[in-house]
Structure formats: structure tokens, C-alpha cells
Amino acid sequence: MKNIRIGTRGSQLALWQSEFVAARLREEYPDLAVELVKIKTTGDKILDAPLAKIGDKGLFVKEIEVALLSGDVDIAVHSAKDMPTEIPAELILAAYLKRDDPSDALISRRGELLDDLPTGAVVGTSSLRRRAQLAAYRPDLKFVDLRGNVDTRLRKLDEENLDAILLSGAGLIRLGWGDRITERIKPAIVVTAVGQGLIVIETRQDNAAAREMVAFLDDAETSTCVRAERIFSDAIGGGCQVPMGAYAVLDGANLHMDAVVASVDGTRVLRDEIEGPAADAQRLALEMAGRLLDAGARDILDEIRQECE
């Protein structure tokens, strides 16, 4: 291939991530012409409603996948946490880039840590996962939906008199706003989203040239961990937006995974962890999902599905 077209959302963070991939490709292939093609997704078009009310996962990728399938772009650059566990059979996730900071980040207006926020503090977040787990940890907190690009959300922290907001730590760091982070929330309090903190490249199964071209970007450790997280997520299911998370890490030849499924209001939070040989990552992920489903996650998911209907 002498040129490659990258499909991307037009947000500041999405463009940073796509430019990062483009730079790596140009460095690896000096004669390659790289073009970024901006595509507006459903999630970008609807900004006046909570994500949970708009639809299922895929809000930020479906239109880009259509462009891939039609041949309008050769590869797509996504935040891995935006990817549904099921993608069209004609497509493949060809490379998982090395994971950056996976944590959820608290940015408070007056510099308070989570434990020091005043009783009844107002916290902005668009994530049911973050909201449910924080509500379980601090039942006194009040939550408001927070949509928009990273810079918009930071501005709303002051303009709307919020006490704090929650964002992805990796996104803030990539955009040069790491100094705004007041506290990185520990997984013991808020388990991160599946695939949080990393960039994934999607392409067509039959585009062998593109698959070979991006193969050098795939990080084996990240790939093992995130594939396990995605297997867990797929086994849990849920249909519409579900407060759930999973985070896997490698310790030598072993894989350790923390996972959570919660009710939307945070009154029921089911957590578990599992560890075993990384070679058995799929089995471990499925076992984790089975344990949480048997512990009550199935009932929580049934209730959420009924509310979505």
C-alpha cells in the first residue's frame, strides 16, 4: 500500500489518537501517504441526552465501521472502551496499542480528594459504571449527566458549579491536561471500563495489506489482557448500557482480573477477582463472568433490560 486512509471521529481526543497512529505509520513506512477521514458518529450527533438513553455500545463506532465496510477508509482508530464486543464478521481488531493509564480520574473544582468531597457534592459523569460504583462508595453524592468533548467537560466543571467530574485518565494525559487530575481512583473503588486506556485499530478481514501494515503496533501484553476483558464482557451480555467493568493485568505468566457488575443506582455492586495462567485467559474470563452471574448479576441485568424496553 502506498497510501492509507484512517477513519476517525472528529473530537479532539479522537484526532490526537489518530494522529498518533498516523505518526507511527509514517515513521515505520516513510513513503506512506496517510490521510485522516473525519466521520461523525451517532454519539457525536446527540449531545443533549444521557448515553444510557441513546442506545447500546457502538454509539461512537457504527458509522466508522460502515465506512470501513464500504471501502471509504482502510483502517479505523478507536478508543478500545468504545468498541462493542460484537463487531461485523467482515471486520477485525487488528492491533491493540500499548495500554496507557487505565484509571478513572477525579477532577475536583477545589482540589478535594474523593473522600474529602463535601456531603451531597455534585459529580458530573456520563458513565453508568462510574456513577454506580461511586454511589456505592459515597451514597451521599449527587450525580448529573456530563456529555461533550474533554475540554467541554472541564469547562462545565466551573460553569455549572459542579464539585467534581470523572474522566478517563489516559484521555486527559494525551491531551496535555494530566495536571488537572486531582486523584486517580483505585480499582478497589471503581473498576475501570473494558479496554479503557488504549487505542485499537480496526480493519477489514480481507484487507491483508492493511492488517500487515499495522501489525507492528500490536502490543502482546495489552492484547492478551484486553481480549480477556472483552470475553468477560461478552459473556456477561446486557444489551443496553450496563454498569460493568473489567481490568486485567499480567504478572509474569499469570493474568489477574478484577470485575464488577452493578445496579444503575449503585445499591447492589457485585465484585470479584480471579488469577491464573495467562495461557488460560479465555477460561478465566468466562469463569469470572459465570461467578458474577450466579452471584446475582443475572437478576441485575434482567432488571436493566426491562427498563430499556
pLDDT digits (tens, 9 = 90+) for 58-97: 667 999 999 999 999 999 999 999 899 999 999 999 999 9
* Position 278 pLDDT exceeds 60: yes
Mean pLDDT of 142-163: 90
pLDDT digits (tens, 9 = 90+) for 88-131: 999 999 999 999 999 999 999 999 999 999 999 999 998 999 99
Structurally, what CATH architecture does the domain formed by 232-308 represent? 2-Layer Sandwich (3.30)
* Position 198 pLDDT exceeds 90: yes
Confidence of residue 217 (pLDDT cuts 50, 70, 90): very high
Mean pLDDT of 5-15: 95
What pLDDT score does 49 carry?
Answer: 44
pLDDT digits (tens, 9 = 90+) for 264-275: 899 999 999 999
What pLDDT score does 298 carry?
Answer: 94
Task: Clarify whether 82 is annotated catalytic.
Answer: yes
Q: In the CATH scheme, what is the homologous superfamily, with its name and number, of domain 3-97+199-218?
A: Periplasmic binding protein-like II (3.40.190.10)
* Position 302 pLDDT exceeds 80: yes
* Position 48 pLDDT exceeds 70: no
Higher local confidence (pLDDT), 306 or 277: 277
104-185 CATH choice from 3.40.50.720, 3.40.190.10, 3.30.2010.30, 3.40.50.1000: 3.40.190.10
User: In whole numbers, what is the pLDDT of the chain averaged over residues?
Assistant: 92
Confidence of residue 42 (pLDDT cuts 50, 70, 90): low
Of the residues 82, 101, 104, 163, which is catalytic?
Answer: 82
| Residues 76, 68 contacting (CB under 8 angstroms) | yes
Identify which of 93, 104, 64 has the alpha carbon closest to the alpha carbon of residue 222: 93
Q: Do domains 104-185 and 232-308 have the same CATH topology?
A: no
Mean pLDDT of 132-159: 92
Domains of the chain, by residue range, sit at 3-97+199-218, 104-185, 232-308
Mean pLDDT of 158-175: 94
Query: Poorest-confidence range of 39-48, 133-142, 211-220, 246-255?
Result: 39-48
* Position 307 pLDDT exceeds 80: no
Mean pLDDT of 246-252: 97
Confidence of residue 53 (pLDDT cuts 50, 70, 90): very low
| Residues 76, 17 contacting (CB under 8 angstroms) | no
Task: Please count the other Cβ atoms lying within 10 Å of the Cβ belonging to residue 298.
Answer: 14
- Residue 144, C-alpha cell as written in the block: 448529573
Amino acid at 21: V
Identify which of 281, 94, 104 has the alpha carbon closest to the alpha carbon of residue 200: 94
